[in-house]
Structure 1
Amino acid sequence: MALSNCSSFLAELLSEQHRVLEARLAPVVRDITDSCPHLQEEMENVYRKIVSYVLLASGLGSPTDIGVVREVTAALQSVFSQREVVTFTSLGKKNKEQQLKTFAMLVTGIRLYNKECGKGGSSIDDLPAILNEAIPSATRAIDEGLHNCHILAHRYTTLLESMQEDQHRHTQLSSFKLKEALFNARQYEAFLCILLSDAITSAQEVEKMHVQFATTMERLKNTVQNKVSVDANEVFPLFVALSNLWTGFRDEMLLLKFLTNMTNNLQQFSEIQSQLFPEEVLTSLLEGLTVKSDEERLRETMGTRVNVSDFENQEWLFPETTDNFDQLLIQYHGFCAHAIGVKGLILPGNAAIGILKHKEKCYVFSSKEAAYIFAQDPDKFIQLNVEKAKEYAELIQLLELHHQFEYLVPYAQVHIAHASC
């Protein structure tokens, strides 16, 4: 995945992994670049070290596999013969390091080409095929988690509304704990949405790279064909392009593993919720109540909107009067800006009612009435929302209870901290 397409945390994750690889290769690089061979045996020793570096840098096979070592050696010899070691060692340190990286990319491209032509590469995994199978599987797992999370949030909301309508109803339930559970469920939902978005972006990136890889491979085949020798200026850029694309596939594998691990680890959230509110208890409490989904709540408020003439100093945004209306950044992840602080509820906001723009920020509401009340004193309700968000335990606090989420916590901070602004 290109870093520009990643979330900032995932981009940093990839950068860190690249730094780790460079750190592991650093002793080998130093050993090669500091060498000043004179004897033939010393030259051969440096060449073997270069072969080891190229193999380790590519990550395509084990350095203990003789067949892999022979493949790498043969590929390297086609672009850098042992006779050229003297010229290589006469270069400055920086030039040597750059040459090593170039050798690694060229050899990687050559081995990938040979694998495509059935002339080796048996140790090279088919990363595009693996990703094409693994990404949909990961997406389905996140989708399932989202579905279950939605059901929980809808049920919690229904119970809380019934308790607010009748304070004597469900006296055995703690309103605070139920609201806390709702807040956590909605934050968990937001987190899963981020994971799903990253998984979809990954799938798109893999598809794009797959096309580029196939196109580059075809160009290379057409260039090489059955020629005994070809101009290095024609094929070297194509080998490097294949190598860079393969690095992209490896990065996607790393990110997919990370996203999958996060999804699996977050299953503990559902387990904790089921302990707090077992299924049989929830079913019993909901008896006689109608559980509404977010979509049903939105449909109920369609066709209602604020009357702009009722407000002298407020700016309201509507689809027909606002460019890129669907792309506006809505506060509180699009939930009702009034219900959070006043009712302790997280209700879906309906942009069709009207979006209030206050101090360059946009707010939506679950009903026309909520919009009118909020607009009377936005700053007061915004402060109420801040206090309410602090009052209830956030998902990130739940994660911090488990040391295995050491990578999840900064990721969550990046993405959901603004949810309780």
Structure 2
Amino acid sequence: MDITPQIVQQVIAHCQKKGFVVTPSLATFYVKCLCVPESKDETGAVEIARERVPHIVDKANSAFTQADSARLENLKMQAAVFSQHQDTINSQRTEQIQHRAKAQQLLQEVCHRVGNHAKVFGDMVLYILHETGLYNASNKELVQKETMTALESVIPRQSIESFVAQSDAEKTKQLEELWKIVWGIRLFNRETHKGGAGIQDIPGDLASMVQNAQTVLNQHLDQAKKLCQNYVVVLENKKECGVLGNIEQRLMDEYVNRLQFIQFLTKTADSVTSIARHMALVRPAYDSLLTEIKAMVTSSTSVPKSTIYPKFIEVSDKWEAFRRLYNDMKGHKNVLDVLLEYKSSYTQALKPGMVEEAMKADVTRVKPTYNQVTLEKEINSLGKCFYSPALPGGTPLQFNGMCIVTILQKQDPMLKPSVADLGYIRYDEQFYGFSSEPALKAFINSPKAFLDQTLGNETFATEGLLHLLDLGKQIPSEVFLLGTRQKELGPVEVVMAEAGTQTGQIDPYKDYKYQWNEWELRRLALKLADLRNKRTHSCQTVQSHFKRENDTQTFPKKQSGSQTMIDQATQPKHTAQFIAGLRGDPTSKIKVVKVEFDE
């Protein structure tokens, strides 16, 4: 059994005693992060010793019982985004399951309805309304009227009888095409302003959502990146600014918080850009298709069904593509709303005076320069890694572009991003960036050693760096106590083999002399032992052969009179017996008469 809920309950109870409110999603997220050092199995679950549970609870309590903590706000932001992402996936999956279940129910009602053709037509309308998402429309009467009109143009009421006569499989196949044709007709009527009641302007709403989201994302990304640059300048010139001790650690926590904020914003912006790119491909094709249908309808009074119906189905498919993009955009919009709650969720320790002093000191600093040609020759000659002056287009950097060597060697407490002028290292078909030339050279000498240290690193888990370094996949899905997990058996392998079939009688193999009673067995044992005293002895000698008495041997002669068919016939006699004298005069006597017949 997964013990995460039990650990979470302990953490929440301990924090409540100290006056801190912790949400279950936050506690669950951090507890699983603390279990990252344990090795995962193929299902993503881990097993921990019972002694580790108090250690995990204490670490979680110390992390959650801090006031105005940038590190705690970072954990809250990660937990909120992760929870929102899971809620979106679960809600979409639930909606799809419920939609298909309701559609199957309505489909069965249409297929099994017989007799009343008007009810069959009504059931078909309800099925189409459900598939098009207008089953519970506000102006339901007008929506039903337009749907019935479009349906009757495809399959008149007089043709319902032939539809009912079909098999269930044929009805199902025809209905799945029918609702798309009707939906395509309604969408075309909407574009030509001849109907379209209850149909949401999904393309327009989607374009508006994308534009607004991109504006908000770009605005907050610019602000967050400028703020991170200020943190970098101050931390690199901390001595000149007088940033030491607790203030330095506080600024580091705020810097990591803003880096995580930028990472989430960047991923959301990439997703929104991808939706905008798909929308730019679907919208022209959709408009072109409607224009083509309009030209076909206006040029001829009668368009063949084989020509126009596939066009309506294609219009329906394009609209469904808009609907999927719209649902995805709503999910990203919800994530963006969650992120904006953490844009200033703590008191910022970075003061304008620190930034001004750091800027003055940074002017006098000598910026490092890199000779990419020399680096390429030196690195490629080793044969372990390969140098790349620039990152190939569309290729992601591992660890989200952060310098992993600086973190693991702990030479600099600041989490540093990679420098583009330094170039990149390709190792095992993956690209890595570094913040300095010494860090790059340290990596190429032993790349596997550095990468192994990133697996199950407890520091990354406790400081909330897993998502920032793109190591979120290391977070386990479930947590079990060591030795208590019951693993499910794999699939049973079926082996086919030849076997002889018993065609004759099967012997029972039953021992009728079996005795289970101990005293009966003892009695039989004594009986068998007593037989030894009653055995007989015999011997054969030469003289014993002459003790035979031949006179006592009897050989009776055959009797000739016993042969059949000599004395009399072999046919048996038939005897009949009856009573005489039952009728007649009073003087007659009653007697029994017996008659024998030879044949």
TM-score by length of 1: 0.78
Counterpart position of 2:332: 259
Work out which of the residue numbers 376, 385, 388 in structure 2 matches 1:318.
388
How far apart are the structure 1 equivalents of 2:101 and 2:429? 45
1:57 to 2:135 alignment: no
SS in 2 for 1:91: coil
Counterpart position of 1:402: none
Name the structure with the higher helix share.
1
Work out which of the residue numbers 376, 380, 390 in structure 1 matches 2:461.
390
Do the aligned partners of residues 359 and 215 (structure 1) sit closer, same or farther apart at CA in structure 2, a change above 3 Å counting? Answer: closer
How far apart are the structure 2 equivalents of 1:292 and 1:186? 24
TM-score by length of 2: 0.57
How far apart are the structure 2 equivalents of 1:45 and 1:63? 23
In the TM superposition, residue 221 of structure 1 has moved relative to its aligned partner by: 1.4
Counterpart position of 1:358: 427
Asked whether the equivalents of residues 14 and 251 of structure 1 are also in contact (C-alpha less than 8 Å), the reply is no
Counterpart position of 2:442: 373
Asked whether the equivalents of residues 63 and 69 of structure 1 are also in contact (C-alpha less than 8 Å), the reply is no
Counterpart position of 1:19: 97
Q: Which amino acid aligns with 1:53?
A: Y
SS in 1 for 2:425: strand
In the TM superposition, residue 157 of structure 1 has moved relative to its aligned partner by: 3.1
Counterpart position of 1:408: none
Asked whether the equivalents of residues 389 and 422 of structure 2 are also in contact (C-alpha less than 8 Å), the reply is no
SS in 2 for 1:338: helix
In the TM superposition, residue 88 of structure 1 has moved relative to its aligned partner by: 2.6
Counterpart position of 1:286: 355
Q: Which amino acid aligns with 1:21?
A: H
Work out which of the residue numbers 226, 232, 240 in structure 2 matches 1:151.
226
In the TM superposition, residue 392 of structure 1 has moved relative to its aligned partner by: 1.0
How far apart are the structure 1 equivalents of 2:217 and 2:386? 35
Asked whether the equivalents of residues 241 and 354 of structure 2 are also in contact (C-alpha less than 8 Å), the reply is no
SS in 2 for 1:269: coil
1:228 to 2:293 alignment: no
Asked whether the equivalents of residues 75 and 111 of structure 1 are also in contact (C-alpha less than 8 Å), the reply is yes
Work out which of the residue numbers 246, 257, 269 in structure 2 matches 1:196.
269
**Correspondence 1:382-421 to 2 at 5 A:** 382-385=451-454, 386-394=457-465, 417=472
Q: Deviations over 1:158-182 (max 9, x none)?
A: 343344x57973434261x543443
Asked whether the equivalents of residues 241 and 357 of structure 2 are also in contact (C-alpha less than 8 Å), the reply is no
How far apart are the structure 2 equivalents of 1:20 and 1:99? 22
How far apart are the structure 2 equivalents of 1:145 and 1:94? 55
Counterpart position of 2:206: 131
Do the aligned partners of residues 172 and 390 (structure 1) sit closer, same or farther apart at CA in structure 2, a change above 3 Å counting? Answer: closer
Counterpart position of 1:79: 154
Q: Deviations over 1:275-304 (max 9, x none)?
A: 1425xx5334434112999xx9xx955643
Q: Which amino acid aligns with 1:232?
A: K
In the TM superposition, residue 75 of structure 1 has moved relative to its aligned partner by: 0.2
Deviates more, 1:372-381 or 1:333-342: 372-381
1:102 to 2:102 alignment: no
SS in 1 for 2:328: helix
Asked whether the equivalents of residues 376 and 387 of structure 2 are also in contact (C-alpha less than 8 Å), the reply is no
Do the aligned partners of residues 46 and 122 (structure 1) sit closer, same or farther apart at CA in structure 2, a change above 3 Å counting? Answer: closer
Asked whether the equivalents of residues 355 and 362 of structure 1 are also in contact (C-alpha less than 8 Å), the reply is yes
In the TM superposition, residue 23 of structure 1 has moved relative to its aligned partner by: 2.6
In the TM superposition, residue 125 of structure 1 has moved relative to its aligned partner by: 2.9
Q: Which amino acid aligns with 2:386?
A: W
Asked whether the equivalents of residues 275 and 325 of structure 2 are also in contact (C-alpha less than 8 Å), the reply is yes
In the TM superposition, residue 11 of structure 1 has moved relative to its aligned partner by: 9.1
Q: Deviations over 1:193-216 (max 9, x none)?
A: 121111111112112111111111
How far apart are the structure 1 equivalents of 2:142 and 2:304? 28
Deviates more, 1:126-135 or 1:259-268: 126-135
How far apart are the structure 2 equivalents of 1:83 and 1:184? 68
Q: How many residues align?
A: 381
1:271 to 2:338 alignment: no
Asked whether the equivalents of residues 339 and 346 of structure 1 are also in contact (C-alpha less than 8 Å), the reply is yes
SS in 2 for 1:317: strand
Counterpart position of 2:397: 330
In the TM superposition, residue 190 of structure 1 has moved relative to its aligned partner by: 2.0
**Correspondence 1:300-319 to 2 at 5 A:** 300=367, 303-305=370-372, 306=375, 308-309=377-378, 312-319=382-389
1:29 to 2:99 alignment: no
How far apart are the structure 2 equivalents of 1:171 and 1:180? 13
Asked whether the equivalents of residues 314 and 356 of structure 1 are also in contact (C-alpha less than 8 Å), the reply is no
How far apart are the structure 1 equivalents of 2:383 and 2:299? 76
In the TM superposition, residue 242 of structure 1 has moved relative to its aligned partner by: 0.6
1:210 to 2:283 alignment: yes
How far apart are the structure 2 equivalents of 1:181 and 1:132? 35
Deviates more, 1:93-102 or 1:59-68: 59-68
SS in 2 for 1:146: helix
Do the aligned partners of residues 229 and 360 (structure 1) sit closer, same or farther apart at CA in structure 2, a change above 3 Å counting? Answer: closer
SS in 2 for 1:110: helix
How far apart are the structure 2 equivalents of 1:416 and 1:191? 14
Q: Which amino acid aligns with 1:337?
A: I
Do the aligned partners of residues 134 and 79 (structure 1) sit closer, same or farther apart at CA in structure 2, a change above 3 Å counting? Answer: same
SS in 2 for 1:357: strand
Rg bigger for which structure?
A: 2
Asked whether the equivalents of residues 179 and 345 of structure 1 are also in contact (C-alpha less than 8 Å), the reply is yes
Do the aligned partners of residues 361 and 210 (structure 1) sit closer, same or farther apart at CA in structure 2, a change above 3 Å counting? Answer: closer
SS in 2 for 1:83: helix
Q: Deviations over 1:58-100 (max 9, x none)?
A: 1258275222211100000011122333333333334333322
Work out which of the residue numbers 48, 51, 59 in structure 1 matches 2:122.
48
How far apart are the structure 2 equivalents of 1:291 and 1:391? 35
Do the aligned partners of residues 395 and 145 (structure 1) sit closer, same or farther apart at CA in structure 2, a change above 3 Å counting? Answer: farther
Asked whether the equivalents of residues 335 and 348 of structure 1 are also in contact (C-alpha less than 8 Å), the reply is yes
How far apart are the structure 1 equivalents of 2:466 and 2:112? 51
Asked whether the equivalents of residues 385 and 444 of structure 2 are also in contact (C-alpha less than 8 Å), the reply is no
Counterpart position of 1:179: 252
For structure 2, the 5+ residue unaligned runs are 1-84, 476-599
Deviates more, 1:101-110 or 1:111-120: 111-120
Do the aligned partners of residues 153 and 95 (structure 1) sit closer, same or farther apart at CA in structure 2, a change above 3 Å counting? Answer: farther
Work out which of the residue numbers 169, 174, 188 in structure 1 matches 2:243.
169
In the TM superposition, residue 253 of structure 1 has moved relative to its aligned partner by: 1.6
